[in-house]
Structure 1
């Protein structure tokens, strides 16, 4: 879980003016007068996250914008009112941000007060959730297994198993390769609870492959 960014008084005044300006929309994020503010947001969360994407857990040893996007956890296109809310901000890798796009991530209808309960969200919230409680990372950037429903939603919405979607492998090779990675993870895993989840996933893939 992350420590949120703290804005200065001047930055708070700038944000207030922006939110109350005529014609303010989600597209106001591209305005020139908040460039420095966005740079501060980026630097804070990359440092706080140690250059690790909160969704796929890949570590990217570069701060270049080609690899990172400022992430609005509740999409700004849905609720522009939360565009500068510190608890709605983090950095995500470009692939996760592109996969997540404008998908619904919360059951809350709030427009003024940001929802701060983990239960308000259907995906893992970087500020409120313990990632490991919801997802087992078999291999960063390649394959993930959900432990709970919120993990399933995060994998689906952020397209975390996207390696297989874009590979040239056939479905049988995909399943064989997944079983191999799961088996390697099973060999290294110490938790009996996690072993049960991994064994179940291997069994489901094996049954699917023999059908």
Structure 2
């Protein structure tokens, strides 16, 4: 995905020098729009992690996902192999800044995008459908999705557990049966557009509050 213009590359170089917080700079707003559109086309308008469709969705519910989190791997912030389009559930609610999907042979300096460096299905160096089958059935207003691990795939098993794909299947079944479920619900600001610094701060406050409550009850 080498669609960056010379002007884009100059801006990107400046951003990388400034660090990951530059992702929120106003000057790259238009560039991020362009990146998101390219990613959606590359992925045929589905989430990179759960394969659910983006068709008809507003852009603010679709994130530019940094597979290697930008706060830790700022130099990879604009690498096409490190970028993907993700739904907010997979990106914000589940993955966030986690790096426990990296294997023991991951090498950021020499082979950052080698498929064996990742325990889950990497959106750009693996093919999701080689590891997990995804079935989407819709009858009228009822939608059911189903995931099956193929050939006992280790990456398939890891992704299935990591992104809680079974819960998505159960969620869609529950909704089809009229049972209330919030599995797919994101309570944050939809305009954050993968601003994981704000998200991390929010979750940190929640975790602090929980720890305080636990300490009070423990006394």
TM-score range relative to shorter protein: 0.5 to 0.7
Distance 1:86 1:53 in 2: 16
Deviation at 1:63, TM superposition (A): 4.8
Distance change >3 Å, CA 118–CA 7, structure 1 → 2: same
Deviation at 1:113, TM superposition (A): 5.3
Match of 1:179 in 2: none
Q: For 2:161, which of 121, 141, 156 is the aligned residue?
A: 156
Distance 2:172 2:132 in 1: 22
Q: For 2:48, which of 54, 71, 85 is the aligned residue?
A: 54
Distance 2:16 2:165 in 1: 33
Deviation at 1:6, TM superposition (A): 2.2
Match of 1:195 in 2: none
Distance change >3 Å, CA 159–CA 116, structure 1 → 2: same
Which stretch shows the higher mean deviation, 152-161 or 121-130?
152-161
Match of 1:144 in 2: 147
Match of 2:23 in 1: 29
Q: Is the 8 A contact 1:6 1:86 kept in 2?
A: no
Match of 1:100 in 2: 95
- TM-score, length-scaled by structure 1: 0.67
Q: Which runs of 5+ in 1 are unaligned?
A: 170-211
- Tell me the matched-pair count: 162
RMSD across aligned positions (CA)? 2.4
Distance 2:111 2:36 in 1: 21
1:1-211 aligned within 5 A: 4-21=1-18, 24=19, 26-98=20-92, 99-104=94-99, 105-107=101-103, 108-110=106-108, 112=109, 115-139=112-136, 142-147=145-150, 148-163=153-168
- TM-score, length-scaled by structure 2: 0.65
Partner SS for 1:145: strand
Distance change >3 Å, CA 166–CA 137, structure 1 → 2: closer
Q: Is the 8 A contact 2:15 2:23 kept in 1?
A: no
Q: Which runs of 5+ in 2 are unaligned?
A: 138-143, 175-219
Residues 37-79 of structure 1: per-residue CA shift (max 9 Å, x gap): 1011011111222211122111122352332001111121332
